[in-house]
Structure 1
Amino acid sequence: MELPGQPRRQVRRRAEGGDGRDLQLRQHPPDGRPAADRTARHRLEDPGGRARGCRRGDHRADHRGRHLGLPPERFVWQYRDSSGTDKEFHREGEFTPLEFRDRVLSDEFTGGLENYVCLVDDPREENPYGAATSVAEGTNMWGTADTSYINVGVSELKRIAKASIDAGEPVWFACDVNRQFAAALGIWNADLYERDALYGTTTVSGPGTSKADQMRTRESMPTHGMVLTGYDNEAGTWRVENSWGTKSHGEHAKLAGAGSMKGYGTMKDAWFDDNVFQIAVHRRLLGDDFPGLDALDRGETTVLPIWDAMA
């Protein structure tokens, strides 16, 4: 049913390169204007003033710009220092995004971002350990290379993550965050909820329930990134820094005492096995003869589709 004065909406499938995966939503108001006139207003402009169309990849930025607005070209960076008692206020000045990146992510602090390597645990037999792999169109930043990594297995992930922490460098990691997770307590534990005992099912130890099987069906996949900041071999736990703060992990401070864990979480080692997929570490921890590193550097990777569980 079409109400007077309201535009008709039509979804049209556009096949680019024969893949047929792009969808385009167009409005057809009853004003008789050509489609080119109506859509030109919604195109993004790059710094050089050239209009971006909706070609493969561009259409994603175009749609975000329509709904969220264009990113700011400059911004003021100011903050209050949370350390100490005076809570000193800092105003660093005005920056472009690239100037901010160069200031905060300088080689002095990071050792050079190009020197960091992603390692994963993908136990599916079709993706062998030691192989360099990438994900087609698997990037979150315009104009950057696809995500690439080396498949090393969960034992190597743990060993290298601990070596990085021992060297004073926290470790970014990706996991399936909401599985067996008590947010208010800040605890990730593979045995936290005994759902199989409650429902009489075999989702944990039955057929088709391995980490590899659950990746194939997309029952489990990386959903969130956090940081490993410590570990306890005797207790079999990891200290996790998350971006959710005390709203999600506030009660954990009461469990830890002295506020030392306020805003942090605790991950059990068995949960790491089942739900951690990826870490990022400095390549000096790997050595030049690390399996798969040469192939990764040369860009000789096995390419997975964007809909893969590792995307």
Structure 2
Amino acid sequence: IYKILVYSVGEPPAKFDWAYRDDDKKYHKEVGITPQDFFKKYVGWDLDNYVSTINAPTDDKPYNHVYTVELLGNVVGGRQVRHLNLEINDFKSLAVKQLQSGEAVWFGSDVVKSSDRKIGIMDTKIYDLEGLFNTDFSMTKAERLDYVESMMDHAMVITGVDLDENGNPLKWKVENSWGEKVGTKGYFVMSDDWFNEFVYQLVINKNLLSDELKETFDKESKQPKVLAPWDPMGALA
């Protein structure tokens, strides 16, 4: 596999050159920088401070426990993927807290459901399929997962949230990766109902977890429950 990849895309570089212009149009150039040094200089995140949380309301995944997926992961010696399953209100509360702290939220969802990529709207009522076909298509989130009618298929970033007077989310601002020709210059609006139904994974700063959830994650991460390779919580990675 390594040989085929090298033939196709080249030997992974030990060092590389990189040039860019900053916001003031000033030119900068890095010569002979390593990937690790690039990460330390331009990114600098401590990824150990982040945890993967999920909302999977199926009977095989009780809330407030940690799960992993068999055979998931593509980095030799890399960190095992571990998901902390949370009830939807706790799940959303962490997303709001992270946004309020000034940090965007990486998330995984079923982006093709009830969405329009041209106008950039994700909402459960965007299409009236039941009215068109005079048929009840309703399923719970758990039923869609159990019957593989839905799963994570795309990652995006939540960059904002609109809250009501009681602090409850009404809609969310989403930055997609499909370029500026979709949505509003690449940004989408996600209704809170859509979040409830089709958002499955959030990457959250560990400092935002309650002490109880931190303790649960640290304890159970050493030996998480292993899900089957085809479990929908492993579909995105």
Q: TM-score range by the shorter chain?
A: 0.7 to 0.9
Distance 1:236 1:293 in 2: 29
Post-superposition shift, 1:304? 0.9
1:175 offset after TM fit, Å?
A: 0.6
Pairing 1:303–2:193 present: no
> Take 1:76 and 1:142, find their aligned partners in 2: how far apart are those partners?
26
Distance 1:64 1:295 in 2: 38
Per-residue deviation, residues 159-194 of structure 1 (Å, max 9, x unmatched): 011011111111111111111111121111111111
Assess if the C-alpha contact under 8 Å between 1:119 and 1:157 holds in 2: yes
Which residue of 1 is the match for residue 197 of structure 2? 274
Q: Aligned-pair distance for 1:300?
A: 2.1
Q: 1:212 aligned to 127, 142, 155, which one?
A: 142
Does structure 2 conserve the Cα–Cα contact (< 8 Å) formed by 1:132 and 1:293? yes
Unaligned runs of 5+ in 2: none
For residue 245 of structure 1, the aligned residue among 154, 169, 179 is 179
1:156 correspondence with 2:79: no
Q: Which has the higher contact order (CA 8 A, sep 6+)?
A: 2
CA contact (8 A) 1:148 1:296 kept: no
Alpha-carbon deviations, 1:177-227, whole Å to 9, x = none? 111111121111111111222233322x2xxx2111111222211111111
Which one-letter code corresponds to 1:229 in the other structure? T
* Local SS of the residue matching 1:279: strand
Once residues 263 and 164 of structure 1 are traced to their aligned partners in structure 2, the CA distance between those partners, rounded to angstroms, is 22
TM-score normalised according to structure 2 size: 0.87
Q: Deviations over 1:28-59 (max 9, x none)?
A: xxxxxxxxxxxxxxx63xxxxxxxxxxxxxxx
| Aligned counterparts of 2:105 and 2:136: Cα–Cα separation in 1 | 33
Letter in 1 for 2:25: K
Distance 1:140 1:160 in 2: 28
Whichever residue aligns with residue 13 of structure 2, its letter is P
What is the percent sequence identity of the aligned residues? Answer: 34
Deviation at 1:69, TM superposition (A): 4.1
Q: SS state of the match for residue 227, structure 1?
A: strand
Q: Distance in 2 between matches of 1:276 and 1:162?
A: 14
Check the 8 A contact 1:149/1:296 in 2, yes or no. no
CA shift in 2, pair 1:200/1:223, >3 Å: same
Q: Provide the residue aligned with 2:217 in structure 1.
A: 293
Partner AA of 1:212 in structure 2: A
Counterparts in 2 of 1:41-80, with a 5 A limit?
44=2, 64-65=5-6, 67-80=8-21
Distance 1:116 1:123 in 2: 22
Task: Report how far residue 66 of structure 1 moved.
Answer: 5.2
User: C-alpha displacement at 1:284, in angstroms?
Assistant: 1.0
Aligned to 2:151: 221
- Provide the rounded CA distance (Å) in 2 between the counterparts of 1:284 and 1:123: 24
Greater gyration radius: 1
Question: Aligned AA for 1:292?
Answer: T
1:127 aligns with 2:57: no
Structure 1 segment 167-186 matched on structure 2, within 5 A: 167-186=101-120
> Root-mean-square deviation (CA), in Å?
2.1
Q: Give 2:25's match in structure 1, choosing from 82, 87, 93.
A: 87
* From 221, 233, 243, the counterpart of 2:163: 233
CA contact (8 A) 1:128 1:151 kept: yes
Q: Distance in 2 between matches of 1:217 and 1:64?
A: 36
C-alpha displacement of 1:79: 2.0
Write the deviation string for residues 63-108 of structure 1: whole angstroms up to 9, x where unpaired: 5445444433332222233x3xx533322333232332233332xx
